[in-house]
Structure 1
Amino acid sequence: MKLHVGCAMWTHAAWSGRHLPHPLAPRERLRAYAGWCNAVEGNTTFYATPAPETVRSWAEQTGPDFRFVLKLPRTITHERRLGDVAGPLRDFLSVIEPLGPRAHALWIQLPASFTPGDLDTLAGFLRRLPTQYTYAVEVRHRAFFEDERWRTRLEQVLGQVGGPGGAGGPGGSGGAEWIAFDTTVLFATPPSSEAEREAWSKKPRLPRRTRALTGHPVVRYIGRDDPRLTVAGWQPWLGTVSAWLREGRSPTFFIHTPDNANALMLARRFHEEVRKRVPELEPLAEPVPAEQPTLF
């Protein structure tokens, strides 16, 4: 039984010398991060398909159990809006092949302008995807959260996706997951820092959703710069994630804060708090200290 936790990136200036050794060569940064967390969001792939040697380096720096949730390039999701994308999709899938099982889920983040009227396009796109990967879809249009008809229809579209494990649900990996993107804590009270004000201007204000559709739920939880508020805000998730684990699901939980200064420690703390509720959960490995001990 494992819970995978992680952050939105594996390198951050606020972590250098504090949590991660400094200096670190670029090809060692992911390895150091992987000593703290066992998953990471692949946000950089949204902006461009990485070079093959870059992906090979990612594989070399991580163990086979490490999880990347990789965002499909924006050319596919935002510019071409899932239409006429065979070429860029083929290029992307070819490049990430060296990751093997580390490519835990391919993340289809759709723009807020993607409406219920576009669901047939999504269904057609998902039907054409190779079945050796699992998929996770993120929608931001409020109709999917506020109208039962469209929520049900989206779940039906996601449930029709094939997968390496057959049918979806606790025991299988078939079906595409609906990513839970929780910004409720961020918007609970007015922002108190420049980073929080920027997050308010960019993040969607959506209701919390805790329903898992498959055996591999993915949560993106956005907290606050004050760690106490972040911890207080994730309390409802502790019970949800614990229940998923007991049902045989394999969740991945990502911690964001507007400045991300404490995200590494918070991700590990979330894992520890779930483990208090589910003692059989396998612990995370101990991270390497930022300051390497000397012999003298």
Structure 2
Amino acid sequence: MSKMYLGLPMWANTEWRGSLYPPHAGHEGWLPDYARVFSAVEGNTTFYSGAPRQETVAAWARQAPPDFRFCFKLPSALTHERRLSGIESAFDAFLDALAPVQDRLGPLMVQLPRDFGSDELPQLETLLSRWPAGVPCGVEVRHREFFHKGAAEVALNRLLITHGANRIMLDVRPLFSTPANGSPGLAQAQSEKPRRPLHVISTGNQPLVRFIGHLDEDINSHYFTPWIERLGLWIKQGKTPFLFVHTADNRRAPQFARTLYDRVASSHALSPLGAFPGERQACLF
């Protein structure tokens, strides 16, 4: 059956009690409940806090089903502080920490600094050349020169294609479509996310889209519509796309992700999402 992985930026969010999670659910049940609905998750915490303890990862392995995919970010200590230079042993240690879920790793994400340009591509090439077989890779660039369709972008794309790495597509068009207009959540998201053009390109077999939504659902729907055809095309080509859905404050990210997925599923015969455990429990009463 056709497959597309769908996920959110995290699974631990108290604001999802009463919708995705039962109203009084303890955090120990969040991952199992999350994985009943969503098939993947971004692992953003590793970007800030580094490799998790192996016993923590072992607990995740017990809670997530075999077809679930964890897409952890490389720690910022490797990408931003050391800028991929001389990180071999630290990278290996990071992979070792993830060993309990090695069979459930989606693309590990290499998010590069905004000033990481073409002159530093040799460091990226060194990393990709020793990237372990069987572990997908996603690379997110943010330097302006990689979005001008010039020599720097050509060199980047060739490098990624050569190593089968996926260029992460960060779609911030809905987020920046209006001023913040006094919305703290929107203002914060606009300050944190880079305002870069969207270049739609699949350089590997797991095209990865991070869709950063607005608070206005009509705006989100407008910008998502072209993705329906594109995601379907990749599926028909035998690729396995990953779609990660954010909203400005992420409060309604689960509902928003469900709405977008339903549009893709109805067009491309994908399996329906499971019911939200929190909503299912509410129906019982």
The TM-score by the shorter chain falls in which range? over 0.9
TM-score (ref. length: structure 2)? 0.94
CA distance in 2, matches of 1:255, 1:146: 26
Aligned to 1:122: 124
Distance 1:35-1:160 versus aligned 2 partners, 3 A rule: same
Output the CA distance in 2 between the equivalents of 1:45 and 1:93: 12
Contact 1:36 1:268 in 2 (8 A): no
**CA distance, structure 2, for counterparts of residue 67 and residue 228 of structure 1:** 30
The structure-2 alpha-carbon separation of the partners of 1:294 and 1:243, relative to structure 1 and needing over 3 Å to count, comes to: closer
Tell me which residue corresponds to 1:11.
12
Identity %: 37
Match in the other structure for 2:178 = 189
Cα distance in 2 for residues equivalent to 1:289 and 1:190:
33
> Quick one: which of 205, 210, 235 aligns to 1:215?
205
Q: Give 5+ residue unaligned stretches, structure 1.
A: 162-174
RMSD (Å), alpha carbons: 1.7
Q: Which deviates the most, 284-293 or 47-56?
A: 284-293
Separation in structure 2 between the aligned mates of residue 227 and residue 89 of structure 1, nearest angstrom? 39
User: 1:51 aligns to what?
Assistant: 53
Q: Counterpart of 2:89? A: 87
**Deviation (angstroms), 1:272:** 1.0
Name the residue aligned to 2:240: 250
1:17 deviates by 1.9
Question: Does structure 2 retain, via aligned residues, the 8 Å contact 1:3–1:271?
Answer: no
Q: Residue deviations 1:227-247, cap 9 Å, x none?
A: 222222211211111111111
The letter for the 1-side match of 2:7 is G
TM-score (norm 1): 0.90
SS at match of 2:215: coil
Q: Give the distance between the partners of 1:229 and 1:124, measured in 2 at CA.
A: 40
- 1:129-208 → structure 2 map (5 Å cutoff): 129-161=131-163, 175-192=164-181, 193-208=183-198
Indicate the structure with greater helix content: 2
Q: How many residues align?
A: 282
How far did 1:181 drift?
0.5
The one of 271, 274, 279 aligned to 1:285: 274
Instruction: Give the 3 Å change call, closer, same or farther, for CA 215–15 of structure 1 in structure 2.
Output: same
Instruction: Tell me the CA shift for residue 156 of structure 1.
Output: 1.3
Unaligned runs of 5+ in 2: none
SS at match of 2:107: strand
Equivalent in the alignment of 2:257: 267
Report if aligned partners of 1:75, 1:88 keep a CA contact under 8 Å in 2.
no
Q: Say if 1:156 and 1:226 are closer, same or farther in 2 by CA, change over 3 A.
A: same
